[in-house]
Structures are given as C-alpha cells and as structure tokens.
A and B are shown apart, each in its own frame.
Chain A
Amino acid sequence: MRKYLLKRIFYLFLTLFIVATATFFLMKLMPGTPLQNEAKLTASEKASILAQYGLDKPVWLQYFIYIGGIFKGSLGLSFQFSDQAVSYLIGSRMGPSMQLGGQAMVVGVIFGIILGAVGAIRKDTWADRLATVLSILGIAVPSFVLAILLQYYLGLKLGWFPVAGWEGFAYTILPTLALAASPLAETARFIRTDMVDVLSSDYIELAKAKGLSKFGIVYHHALRNSLIPMVTLIGPLAAALMTGSMVVENIFSVPGIGEQFVKSILVNDYPTIMGVTIFYSALLCLLLLLTDIVYGIIDPRIRLSGNGD
C-alpha cells in the first residue's frame, strides 16, 4: 500500500510538471501583453517594464526561471494586484470557492443519489422518466445558463435570494444551485444505471428471500453496492465543479479563485494564470488519488487485495 501511494504521488508531481509546462507555452501563445494602456507607452518605457518582470528574456529562459521558482516554493508575484504573491492571492480567495464547490457537491450528490435511486426502483414508470428528463436537462444545460436563469427568476423576479455578492449564507444559495445541477445530473444517471444492475443481482434476490422490506433492501444492500462505482465519479465531478465555478463565480460576483482566474486571463496576468492552473490541477490530482483510496475503504475486496489474499 505504501509503495503504491509513493508511486501515485510521484505520478501526481509528474502530471503537475507536464501541466505547468504545457500551460506556460500555451499562455505565451496568447495575443497581447500584460501592459495596460500599451498604446500610450513609449518603446523605452515598455522595454523597462518588461525587463522589470523578466519578460524581455527569451521564452525558454523565462520558462526555466519560472519552473525554478516553483521548485523553490514560489508561484511568483501577480502583475495586476500591485505585486501580491500569487500564493497569497489563491489562499485569500480559496474560501468562497471551496465553500461553493463543497456545497454544490453535497447538494448534487445527495439529490443525485435520491433521483437515481428513485429512477431505478420505479423503473419504467413516470417517476423514472421524470428523473431521466431532469438529469438530461442537468447535463445539457450549461451552468452559466442555469445561473442566469436562477438569478433572473429566483433573484430578480421573485426576490427570494440576493442576486449577486458575497455577504452571507443567503448569497451562496443561487450559485450553489447553479453549480449543483451538473453533479446532480451525472450522479443520478450513474446511480440509476448502476442500481438497476444491482437490483437484478442474486444477492438482492436473497435479501428479498430473507423477507426484508423494499426500503431495507435498497438501504442495506443496493445502495452501498451501487455507490462503489460512484466513487470513481468524484474526480470528474470535482473537475466539472471547478470549471463551472469559474463562470458561475463571475456571474454572481463571488470573490473566489474562479473569478480571479477569469480576470487574470483577460489581463494576461501570467503568474496568476499559471498559479491558478497548477492549483486546480493539483486539487484534481489529489481528488483522484483520494478517490482510489476511498474506493478501497468502501469495497472490502479492493481493500485487502494488496495483502495477497
């Protein structure tokens, strides 16, 4: 198990290194420079500013300087926010993003499981079809469309929730709902397919023969067995939440990393783009690793396989 973990952690760093390299060069291919009011600057002013940030050097040298910085534990300084450290920027904006992501994940997965289970138990009835339609909508409608619709109807028209901002729990509800739609739909589809399979298996037949109630069978036997493959979905769901949150945070003016990220792309804030990308990648890789560990915990067959059973 330890050997396995060490190997996985090595791969994690390798992945991050490749992501950093690819992002760096892709970013350099973007049009524009980080300079504001570029047209008004003289050539010598431009050159001195670029030199100050090391942007006058050849790209490959900039790359090595940057990677060297990462190995020293520094993500560099932001261009746009008067030379704040990127790591500080990410740290200070992580809270709202994590809260939104976490809330959306919990809401999405819980309601997704319920929706999927209802679909499977009431297979081929109106309840199943309704669940299917809802989950197709959840996957097909992008989070930003849903965000705007929620903002307009629940926020503006009905006035139930604040339209935008970040001043308390009420402000988190609409962005959470907008973000939760996709994981909810994914979970529901996944659980339904899986549970239909599980419900037709022999051990469910045996559970029926024991005289367990329908609820008891689903709760004690079907759910756990359907949830095991579901764990593999956590990684992709987290990815969807992260990418979704970038746009949704912007729409609801949530002071999170996603909002920061979009802004930094618009102004060519190279260190921030790099920093946030690496941060997101690291988070995703960690979640995938966590997924595999959790998988082992809930499925006893995997847990002990390392002990040569």
Chain B
Amino acid sequence: MENPENIIEVRNLQIDFHTYAGEVKAIRDVSFDLRKGETLAIVGESGSGKSVTTRSLMGLLAPNAVIKSGSIMFHDEDIIKKSEKDMQHIRGKDIAMIFQDPMTSLDPTMRIGLQIAEPLMKHKGLKKKEAVAQALEMLKLVGITDPENRINDYPYQFSGGMRQRIVIAIALVCYPEVLIADEPTTALDVTIQAQILDLMKDLQNRIDTSIIFITHDLGVVAGMADRVAVMYAGKIVEYGTVDEIFFNPQHPYTWGLLNSMPTLDTEGGSLSAIPGTPPDLLDPPVGDAFAARSDYAMKIDTEKEPPFFKVSDTHYAATWLLHPDAPKVTPPAEIVRRQKKFATMQKPEAPIKHETKE
C-alpha cells in the first residue's frame, strides 16, 4: 500500500472484453484509491465502465473479460492474482456488494433469514441456528418491522424498498471493510431512495465500512459521497471531493453531467443534454475520448491523451483545458454559477484535509 489510509488501491487497471465483434476496451488505465471509512462515488453514464471496475474488485467479471494489466491492492495483496477459491473467502466477508434491482437479487425460494445467514455460515463457520439468530439482529438493524416473524418470510412477501434493506443486511452481515453499492437506489422510487441512502449512511457509521457507490445520479452523490470519481469511456476523467466536483468541475464532461442535472434553481423550463453518444470502445478514439461531444474540444484533444492536471491536493482532472498554454474558456452558465458559489464556500471553512497522492 502506498498510503496507509487506503484500503484499496487500484493502479493502471485495464480490462478488455472478448466479443464476436472484437476486443472491447472497457476499462482503459483506471487508477483510484479507497480510504478507510470514506464513501467514494463513481459517476458516469451507462457503459462508462463503472460497474466493470467494481466487479473486478470482487473478482466477479464475466468469463469473456480479461484483465490486461494493472493491480488491485487490498491488504497488501493483489486481488487480480488471487485464485477463485481465495476470492470466495474475500467476497461477502471483506468486500461485499449490493446490486441494483432488489426485486430480482433475492432467491425467490429461500426464506430471507437463511439468505442473510448464509455468509455467516460460510465465512464465520456458524451453525445454521446461530447464523439465523444473528440474521435477526441484522434485520432489526436495517429497520424491518416485526423482524421475529418476518425472518421466515420469502422475498415476494416484501416490497422493493424492504427487499433492498434485506440485500443490505446480507451485504453487511459479516461487517465487511468495503461495501460496493452498484446503483442501489436506481430501481426504487424517490421517497424509498432517500430512506435507503439514510440507512446506508447510518450503517456505515455503525459498522465502520468504506463504500464505493456507483451511480449515474449526481443528485444521490451529493448527499452520500465524500469523494467523487467521474468516469467516461472506460477512464476516470476527473476526481475530487464532493464539493470540488459539484462546485468547481474542470472537465467538460463533468460540466455536461452537472448541466444536465435538474436543480431547484434551474432557470427556464428545459434541461440541457450532452449531445451525441459515447465512443465505440472496440476502437477507442485517440486523445480525449469526450472530444467528439465537447463544445470545448481543441485540436490536441483529438491527437494526444490528456494527463491528470492538479487542481488542488485532492482534485485532479484529465483535460487539456487545464494546461498552462490552453486558451481561457467560459464554461456553461450553470457551471460558472457553481464556481462562484465554490469561491464563497472556500473562504469560511478550509478544504477537507486529505493526503496528497501522485
């Protein structure tokens, strides 16, 4: 580990998928850290590689995926080099995962108590009876009413929000160090979303776990994350603290994302969308992958890949706009408004102290 505060260090990860059409370069040189106790949000549109990245942490990539290079350090060991058997001891115990659709992620024919108890039986060697007893505690913790009776119910007897609470109970029952939440609220309606997010934050404090939160919903990120990494076309294009990403974004793609997010003070009746579609990763473009869709693209964006430029100790963005020789551009009005707000935010309280890296 380069930094003792880190629990996971991903370095230069590159993942390809073999398909009939050819090699899809799904993850292209991704590096990030996860610190103890923090929530890191990975944001990006569908196909940007956020799910693939986290699946590789679990060793749960599809059979046609190949890890071309890179390392994923967890407890000073490289997960990539681990065998399937070794990974089985990590999954569910040290690193757990919550999935997107609670309606389909529970086994319809097994009582929920046993489903929650399963990881305990596997990882802690508990007998069924003891494990189910602990499962009951977990059900209480995730806020299922009347847990003594409901522990013997089947998934179909619960609503979507309740099922997601059960999925969370399964994920957290072994008190994992890392929780990966893959769009855990996308399939839920808005009021339930808020409840689930509150529950996750509450449990994070209680059992002291780090969370990687994958989402395409920036609104969810704002209340949930400490730090944000923005992914586009298999790469991280910008990362920083939640305030830095929301109020001082630097990459045109982040601008686009924020601009297409409705806020309470969005003026006028229309939302702006990012034009075009993401690039074909069978043959990724040279340079900045977002250039083709960006109003701010320069000639160099189509020729050379931008490195990460440092904005602050905690904030980096991969865009040529940050190069000293780049012309000054004016971001969209909404972003300018945000940046002004950021300037006022900076004065009263000092930015959150984080160790520098790179």
Interface residues of A (CB under 8 A from B): 201-203, 205-213, 216, 220-221, 224-225, 228, 298-301, 304, 309
Contact = CB atoms under 8 A, between A and B. Distances in A.
Q: Do most interface residues of chain A lie in helix, strand or loop, or is the interface mixed?
A: helix
B88 A212 contact: yes
Contact of B92 (A209, A224, A301): A209
Interface of B: 58, 60, 87-93, 96-97, 99, 101, 104-110, 118-119, 122-123, 154, 156-157, 167, 170-171
Pick the most buried of B58, B101, B110, B171: most chain A CB atoms within 10 A of its CB: B110
Given A203-B105, A301-B156, A209 B97 contact: yes
B91 A221 contact: no
Contacts of B156: 300-301, 309
Given A203-B105, A206-B106, A228-B109, A211 B88 contact: yes
B12 to A, nearest CB: 25
A92 to B, nearest CB: 42
A211 B93 contact: yes
Nearest to B87: A211
A224 B171 CA distance: 23
A213 B88 contact: yes
Contacts of A209: 58, 60, 91-92, 96-97, 99, 171
Contact of B119 (A205, A210, A299): A210
Contacts of A201: 104
Nearest to A213: B88
16 contacts: A201-B104, A203-B106, A203-B107, A206-B170, A208-B91, A210-B119, A211-B119, A212-B88, A212-B92, A221-B107, A224-B110, A225-B107, A225-B108, A225-B109, A300-B156, A309-B157
B28 to A, nearest CB: 25
A206 B154 contact: no
Given A221-B110, A300-B156, A210 B92 contact: yes
Pick the most buried of B118, B122, B154, B157: most chain A CB atoms within 10 A of its CB: B118
Given A210-B170, A211-B93, A216-B122, A205 B106 contact: no
Contacts of A309: 156-157
A216 to B, nearest CB: 7
Contacts of B101: 202
B122 A212 contact: yes
Given A225-B107, A300-B108, 13 more contacts: A202-B104, A203-B106, A207-B107, A211-B88, A211-B93, A211-B123, A213-B88, A220-B110, A221-B107, A221-B110, A225-B109, A299-B109, A301-B156
Nearest to B97: A209
Given A202-B104, A206-B99, A211-B89, A224 B123 contact: no
Given A210-B118, A228-B109, A300-B109, A202 B88 contact: no
A206 B108 contact: no
B33 to A, nearest CB: 22
B154 A301 contact: yes
A202 B99 contact: yes
A221 to B, nearest CB: 5
A280 B175 CA distance: 58
Contacts of B93: 211
A211 B60 contact: no
Nearest to A203: B107
Contacts of A224: 109-110
Contacts of B108: 203, 225, 299-301
A203 B118 CA distance: 13
Nearest to B109: A224
A121 to B, nearest CB: 12
**The 4 A-B residue pairs with the shortest CB-CB distance in the complex, in nearest-first order:** A211-B92, A211-B91, A210-B92, A202-B104
Contacts of B105: 202-203, 205-206
A304 B119 CA distance: 28
A212 B99 CA distance: 16
A300 B108 CA distance: 8
A210 B88 CA distance: 8
A228 B107 CA distance: 13
Contacts of B58: 209
A212 B101 CA distance: 20
Nearest to B108: A301
A304 B106 CA distance: 18
Contacts of B60: 205, 208-209
Contacts of B157: 304, 309
B111 to A, nearest CB: 8
Contacts of B171: 209
Contacts of B123: 211
A197 B1 CA distance: 41
